[in-house]
Structure 1
C-alpha cells in the first residue's frame, strides 16, 4: 500500500544548505523570527528573505502565465493566483488544478514568497496551480482559514471551467502550515457533496501540536532553522488561548483519514516537524490509503523555497510535482 523512501539518518545538512546560510548571513538577511521581532518586522523579513531565495529575475528564469481572480471568502474577498504551465496551448482543453497553500506557521509568508515554488510546481506537474492568499493569524484564527480553503475549492468547481480548469481533476497541496490546510481540505472535500479531490501533496506539514516527538528532541533547538519554541508560538497565534486543540479540523493528524485520495508526503530530515509526516504516513497505512512518503534526509524545513540555490531541494520539488502529474494528467 505505501511507497516509502526512508534513507539512513546521519543528521548532516546538504553542503549547499550550509552555503546558503553563509550567503544569507553575508547579505545581512535572516529568516523571519516573530519571537524576536515584531509581527510587522517578521513579515517584512520573510518577504525580503524569500526575494533572496527566489532570485531577482524570477519571471525570466521561470516564465509562466500568471493571472489573479477574486472570489468570496467566509468574511470578505479571497484572492487566488492562477499559474499556468508554460508552453501549454490554450486550445479549449481544460487543465488539471493544484490548489496550493503556502507555509509560514499561518502567520508569515504569502503567495509572493512562494512564487518560485508555485512556478516550479506548475511547470513540472502540468497542472494549473491555484495559489490561495488565505488570511494570516492572529488577525484571523482557526477555523477561518479552513473556510477560505473550502471557498477556493468551490470557486474551482463552479467557475474554473471558464478559466480553462478541469473541475474533475483537482489536487490540494501545501507546505508546513499550508500542508495542514491542504490535508484539511481533502477531508472536507471527502465529506462535501460534489467531486472529491483526486490527489494531495504535503510538504513537511504541521499536522498536530505534539512536541514530545523524537524530531522535536533532535532538531527543536533550531540548529537547522525551525525551533520547537517557534512552533508553539505559531500554534498559539492560529488557535488562540493555549494553542492546543483536540479538534481534528485544526490538527488533521487526529482526523479519521479513511476515504482520502492518494497522497505524496515529503518530509525534511533535519526538521523538528519531521515526525508529523512520519506519523501521518503510519496513520494512512492503518487506514489503507495509498501514499508515498519520501524523507529528504539532508534538507531542513522550508526546503521547497530553496530550489534556486539548493539542487537537492529542486529535485525534491520536481519529484513531488511529478507525483501530481502522474495522478492528474491522464
Structure 2
C-alpha cells in the first residue's frame, strides 16, 4: 500500500513548481547531481539551469570587488539598489547555497538583485571557495573575513559598516549563521540581523524530514546531502564543531533571525530544530515554513509566485531591521 504521508505530500506540491520542472526538462536542463556526474559537469549543469531561472532579473548596478581573504584574494560582488537617501547604505552580506560544492554568485544573481531592490540595502555576495578543493574551515574563515571587510572597508564603497545583516540559503545559511555566532566575540563587527533560507545546520540524516522527503521526489536527496557534507568535512564522521554544524552551538546572544524553510525538503527539520533552540535561548526569531515548496525555492522567483512572495518577505525583514529600526533609533525585538 502506498505511504499516505507521501501521497499527501505529493498533493501539496505547488503546481507552478511542477510546471517549472517540466519546462526545464523540456529544455534539456539536467539536474546538477554530483552523485551521477563528475563535479565539474555538475557545476556546469547548475550554471546552465540558473541562466534560465535568472532571466528578467532587475537591472540594478553590480560590480565585482577583490578583498583580502584569510588565505588569498576573496571575490565579492556588490549590488547597489537605487535610492534617494543620502549617506551610506546598510548591507546584506549574502552566502550562496550549493552544498559548499556547486553554484556561485552567478547562479544566485536574480535572487541577489531582488533582495537588494526590495530591501533597499546593498547586497555583498561572497564567492567563497568550494569543496572538495577547499574544505572546512576554509569557507567559514572566508565568510568571517567578508564580514570584517564590510565593516572596515565598506565606507569607501558607500556602505554602512554599522548596519550589517547576514544571509544565505542552504550551505550559505550555514555560513551566515556561523558568521553571526562568531560576531558575538569582542572586537568582531556587529551583526544586526540574520536571514536563513532552508539551511543545512547539522550533520544529521535521521530527522523526520530526511525520512519523508530524502528520496528525491522534490529534488534534494539525503544521499546528496551526505555527499556534500563529506566533501565539506573531508570525512564521513559527524562533527561536533559548531563552526561547521551551528545547530550545536550556544545560540545565546544572537541577533534577530528570520528562518524560511521549505515544507517539501529533507532539510526542513534543520530549520525547525534551530527554531526550537533559538526559543530556548531567548533569541528573537520568526519562522515561516512554505509547505508546498521544495528546497532551493528562492531561485524560482521568476515562475513561482509563492517563491517570489517568500523573497519579498525576506527583503522586507531586512529593510525593517537595517533601515526602519535604525530610523526610529532602536532595534526591533522580533525578527
For Structure 1 versus Structure 2, the TM-score category normalised by the shorter chain is over 0.9
Q: Deviations over 1:93-133 (max 9, x none)?
A: 11100000000000000000000000000011111000000
Count of residue pairs brought into register by the alignment: 316
Aligned to 1:261: 255
TM-score normalised by structure 1 residue count: 0.94
Q: Aligned partners of 1:82, 1:298: CA distance in 2, in Å?
A: 32
Aligned-residue offset at 1:217: 0.6
Q: Aligned partners of 2:220, 2:188: CA distance in 1, in Å?
A: 38
Aligned to 2:40: 40
Q: Tell me whether 1:77 sits opposite 2:105 in the alignment.
A: no
Q: Deviations over 1:128-158 (max 9, x none)?
A: 0000000000000000011101110111111
Aligned-residue offset at 1:54: 1.2
Q: Deviations over 1:22-73 (max 9, x none)?
A: 1011111122000000011000000001111112x43xxx011112211111
Q: Aligned partners of 1:207, 1:136: CA distance in 2, in Å?
A: 17
Are 1:235 and 1:243, in contact at CA under 8 Å, matched by a contact in 2? no
Q: Aligned partners of 2:236, 2:203: CA distance in 1, in Å?
A: 11
Aligned to 1:13: 13
TM-score normalised by structure 2 residue count: 0.92
Q: Aligned partners of 1:271, 1:242: CA distance in 2, in Å?
A: 22
Structure 1's unaligned 5+ residue stretches are 1-8
Cα 1:195/1:40, change in 2 over 3 Å: closer
Aligned-residue offset at 1:195: 3.5
Aligned to 2:151: 157
RMSD: 1.2
Match of 2:299 among 302, 305, 310: 305
Q: Aligned partners of 1:217, 1:118: CA distance in 2, in Å?
A: 32
Q: Which has the higher contact order (CA 8 A, sep 6+)?
A: 1
Aligned to 2:232: 238
The SS at the match of 1:123 is: helix
